[in-house]
Amino acid sequence: MPSGSETQHVAPKPSSRLLSIDVMRGITVGFMILVNNNGQNELAYRAMNHSPWNGFTPTDLVFPTFLFIMGISIVLSFGARKAQSTPKSEQLLHILRRFALLVLLGLVVNGFPYFHLDTLRIYGVLQRIAVCYLLASLLQLLTNRIAPRIVLLVLALAGYWVMLRWIPVPGHGMPVRDFPLLDKDINLVAYVDRHIFPHRLYEGTRDPEGLLSDLPSFASTLLGMIAGWWLTTARPSLDKFKSLAISGVLMLAAGLLWSQSFPINKKLWTSSYVLYAGGWSVLILAACYFALEIKQWKGRWTYPWLVFGTNAITAYVLSELLSSAVSVFHVNASQSFQQFVYSGFFYHVGTPAFGSLVYSILFAAVCWIPAWLLYRRRIFIKL
């Protein structure tokens, strides 16, 4: 992509939206709800579960793609506010309020329905979104230049690699020399989290949304900000598409190359994972941009995704609360409502894995209904 000095920018109009971004966000949220609610994780297709440790499945693409889209949206929304001459103090207040609300919603999701405060998980998906949103929004508020984003991206990826590869873990020694690189429990991320929030981690000895891995997660958001910057240039739409497609392929190659020494790992959000997942995210964006902004292939097929995409956080929160509710409510001494429904109605639909997929699809469809009611009434909940 050309440098900022060579590329003319056009500020987005206050009312402008890119349909491709809303559709891509909706697809991402729909798939997020789908993979988070298998009939039974152990029996589901491999693609419907996260990779147990090193490696990559389609499910591992969901979260970084959401952060990527958020980075694009931040650039577009701030451009609109600039066009409206919204004071920076008002924008800062909005940023802080949204950050706090996302964190609060994350704690509600973690604790629902019992809210055991002594073991309440502090980290979480919404908390990570909040941190990345805060950092990206403050950066966008300070500058719209592309150079700081690229510098921060490089520093985040390289710095995280240095931390996990070259900083000794107290009591265990140096990675590679004294224990395997990216050992499940003996790594700097898990060590820090166990000392900050003991007994509050998602996997007991570690947490996939831990503190240090917020750094590379911010890098995923920065990739979206860079893509958003590129989309707001005055370049022809076809040139934007071509550059996105080429960049996506190069990022995939870079991620795979780096993974030879720094494995792709979603739970640690390794730098190679950022690049590899980011490459797929950019290619998906390129495909949506080509279909909807260049070819104008608009129609009924976009409607389900717009329903999810225009109330993404609301749909996600509702899905998590519903998932918790059906898991804690028991129909008998040995089965939760979720287990009862899956085993009684879906387990024998084809194979157990196929039945699990059908359950996931119907669960996502149930979550789509309230989002549809909001969309139909043109209610868009902006945190």
Is pLDDT at 383 greater than 90 in this prediction? no
Taking Cα atoms as reference points, which of 123, 160, 130 lies closest to residue 275? Answer: 160
Mean pLDDT over 108-123 rounds to 95
d(CA 139, CA 180): 36
Taking Cα atoms as reference points, which of 39, 57, 55, 38 lies closest to residue 47? Answer: 57
Is pLDDT at 234 greater than 80 in this prediction? yes
Show me where the domains of the chain are located.
24-49+298-383, 63-236
Is pLDDT at 258 greater than 80 in this prediction? yes
Mean pLDDT over 307-323 rounds to 97
The percent of residues above 90 in pLDDT, for the chain, comes to 90
Mean pLDDT computed over every residue of the chain: 93
- Residue that is written with structure tokens 């600039």 in the block: 82
Cα separation values, 361 from 35, 39, 264, 358, 367, Å: 9, 10, 28, 5, 10
- Per-residue pLDDT at 15: 40
- Per-residue pLDDT at 12: 46
Is pLDDT at 221 greater than 50 in this prediction? yes
Is pLDDT at 91 greater than 70 in this prediction? yes
Confidence category of residue 349, pLDDT binned at 50, 70, 90: very high
d(CA 268, CA 273): 9
**Residue 330 in 3-state DSSP?**
strand
Confidence category of residue 4, pLDDT binned at 50, 70, 90: very low
Residue 181: what residue type?
L
Taking Cα atoms as reference points, which of 213, 214, 241, 217 lies closest to residue 227? Answer: 241
Confidence category of residue 11, pLDDT binned at 50, 70, 90: very low
Confidence category of residue 81, pLDDT binned at 50, 70, 90: confident
Is pLDDT at 2 greater than 50 in this prediction? no
- Per-residue pLDDT at 3: 45
For residue 92, what are its two tokens?
């800062």
Q: How far is CA 147 from the centre of its chain?
A: 24
- Per-residue pLDDT at 9: 53
Is pLDDT at 83 greater than 90 in this prediction? no
- Per-residue pLDDT at 86: 79
pLDDT, tens only, 35-44: 999 999 999 9
The percent of residues above 70 in pLDDT, for the chain, comes to 96
| Cβ neighbours for 116, distance < 8 A, ≥ 6 positions apart | none
> What is the model's pTM?
0.93
Taking Cα atoms as reference points, which of 113, 111, 112, 156 lies closest to residue 131? Answer: 156
Q: What 8-state DSSP symbol labels residue 351?
A: S
Contact present, 223 and 153 (Cβ < 8 Å): yes
Is pLDDT at 1 greater than 60 in this prediction? no
Taking Cα atoms as reference points, which of 8, 77, 83, 3 lies closest to residue 234? Answer: 8
Mean pLDDT over 353-369 rounds to 97
- Per-residue pLDDT at 194: 96
Taking Cα atoms as reference points, which of 316, 383, 355, 382 lies closest to residue 30? Answer: 316
| Cβ neighbours for 115, distance < 8 A, ≥ 6 positions apart | none
Taking Cα atoms as reference points, which of 311, 336, 323 lies closest to residue 366? Answer: 323
Count how many residues are written for the chain. Answer: 383
Q: What 8-state DSSP symbol labels residue 12?
A: P
pLDDT, tens only, 157-201: 999 999 999 999 999 999 999 999 999 999 999 999 999 999 999
Contact present, 243 and 231 (Cβ < 8 Å): no
- Per-residue pLDDT at 271: 98
